[in-house]
Structure 1
Amino acid sequence: MTDADSIGESDDASDGDAATEPTGSVADRLESRLAETLERRGAVAFVHVGFPRDPGLRYCQVVLEERSDQSAAEREQPLTAVAFDGDTREWFTATAADASTHPARALASQLADRVAAGTVLTPARLPHDAALYLEEAGFEPASTDVLERARAAKTTAERERIAAAQTAAGAGIRRGAALLADATIEDGHLVADGDAVTPSRLRTAIDEGIVAAGAFPAGNTVVNPDSGHAPSSRDATVAAGSVGGADAADEPLRPAEPIVLETAPRGPGGYHGGLVRTLVVDGDGGRERRAHVGATQSFRSAAAMLTADSESVTAVEADLEAEVRAFGFEDPDAVATRVGGVGLEPRERPLAGGDEIEPGSVVRLESAVRVEGDRWLRIADLLVKGDEGERATYLASPSRSLEPRALLEE
């Protein structure tokens, strides 16, 4: 079979055991899960092929960095193939720099010289040509999601990288808050330093703050996202039908209306942050104040819930929603909550449904409340589910206040 999107059969429901795996390093975590899964599936090796920004490949390269087996130049090759032999716990790599042929073909040849022909486990979306080269060498590809499962819980070093990216996210949001704090009102619009404050201008300010803090915006900064989180503040890339139309990025913002700032920068180590704040300039209270109280209370409840036990994504989303609705938001469409893991991607496992938020996970929690029409109040923060016996805690971030100046006074 060479269909890269449906390689072989998978028993991924039983891949890995979070309760018994080592937690000291990415290498320990991944190699333990790979070896266990290879043995259970009767496979001879694990193989992945991709480009440097592929999060699965990047995770494998973190292992190679820890093992000091790969140079910085090799990590930047446009296409890389890696393999893990579960019996010897050895890694093999092939890149465009050290192979005169396709890296996947070179890697398949290396494997054929070291292990017997048989099943090799790969991510489901292995490139089509890579699957063909493996079959050509006598191997039978079969899919597994062991890589994604291993990435769900984070080591101490990974959490530190995420925390650094979250610090940069906070710096960006504060830069945006500073612009709003200095804004005055002219003809019903917000103006700062003589120019209108627009979503595009706010996005630029946030991104400048992120860069100054040593991280990369990575195209993830959004001002006033629509209900599907489409990037409505990006001028030329605004999707047809997004809130406000194609010119929304340059429309002056108004006082007394919620302004949502969302960002998920990537740190130098490749790990992301995730932060959303809603600010109101010259607000008059009312519904957005009640929505704000409900949203902030939901974060306290979720932290207590995840301190007490491991829970599924669905259970935490339901808890967030219940806390918000307790403040009188009964309309079925008035509240939206979203929970998902953060790491080498802005959203990764635990991601949906029954995915468990296990000890060591870093998750992005968001509560959103419809204020009026298409205007929402949104807040999101990153929470670390502690190891056994530890409290679940939020990573440091700016105030959740609706007042722009409050974010600058910490």
Structure 2
Amino acid sequence: MDFTLTEERQMLQDGLRRMLADKVDPKAVARGDTAWSTETWEALAEMGVIGALFSEDDGGFGGAGFDLMVVFEEMGRAGAPEPLMETLIAGGLIAELGSDAQKAHLDAVIGGAVQLAFAHSEPGARFDLERVATEARQDGDGWILTGRKSVVANGGEADYIVVSARVSGNTGDRDGLALFLVPKGTEGLDLRDYPLTGGGRGAEIAMEDMRLPADALLGEAGHAFPAIERANARAVAAQTAEALGLMERIKDLTADYLQQRTQFDKPLIKFQALAFRMADVLIEIEQARSAVINLCGHLDADRETRELHVSATKQLVGETAKLVVEESIQMHGGIGITQEYDLAHFARRLTMVEHRFGDALFHLGRFSRLRMA
């Protein structure tokens, strides 16, 4: 098979890599000066990068798995914390389930003027998409939501938050879920914002009898789980592509260090033990790349096939990420964990990436269950 990028994707990759290298300062990200750079976000929108996450029918120009891979690998290579992931998930749910009025927001999203977040994870849910305790009950023509959401990335910055809830009276795991488009500042929405390790910000959200109008509902009440699962699959593809970019950057930093640092008048890379360890890192990264390519090519497959690739890829990339972080820091020595050196930021961000949307152990178990089903 030919995995060469199309001319359009190659142009997008080259332009995005140059722009991010110029705009993103890993040291500023590591200090947490801001949640993310407004200047970088505007540049992403101007380049059309946000539009690459959506199909032409939704106002973009991409949306395929390999479009996601190109964009998010470069975001990882730069260590950029801009909230493209949240835009991908929440925007995708609006595009799939939203009414015409709700979809009208996508033009502003793609233009970079409107920020989105997705509030699904809850305390105690771990990584299980089906465990939602937040309750939505009908009240006349509207809805009342009560519950809590945890680690909502970009929640404090978002203009709209897509919130999941279980329709009152429905105790099923997959059945009974609904999604709501909640504007920032809605009465009854209590939000606590905080910095995330590796860059960006998250939020804890509490909803106490939060009233929403009928037109806040995305799609049909009680039937949102398939859309959530599809959005999660695309997010895992994007997240593992970002991990690839982070691993490539860490590999380059480590290789440069081994070539420049000397011992007994020789570069460290000349010592066989270190050369073999570096070779192992290179091989594992290439294996992870093959898995991500495989997943991106199966995002539109049937559910069983798609979800098998989701868990297999997330498990493999998670294990590889752990290896790359540990080996790179050990081969650097003490300098590898200092705040002033770029490796520390990329290692932290890669470690956090491994834990989002399910870590390696969770997806190993999920893969086994899917295979036995």
The alignment's TM-score, normalised by the length of structure 1, stands at 0.25
The alignment's TM-score, normalised by the length of structure 2, stands at 0.27
Which structure has more helix as a fraction of its residues? 2
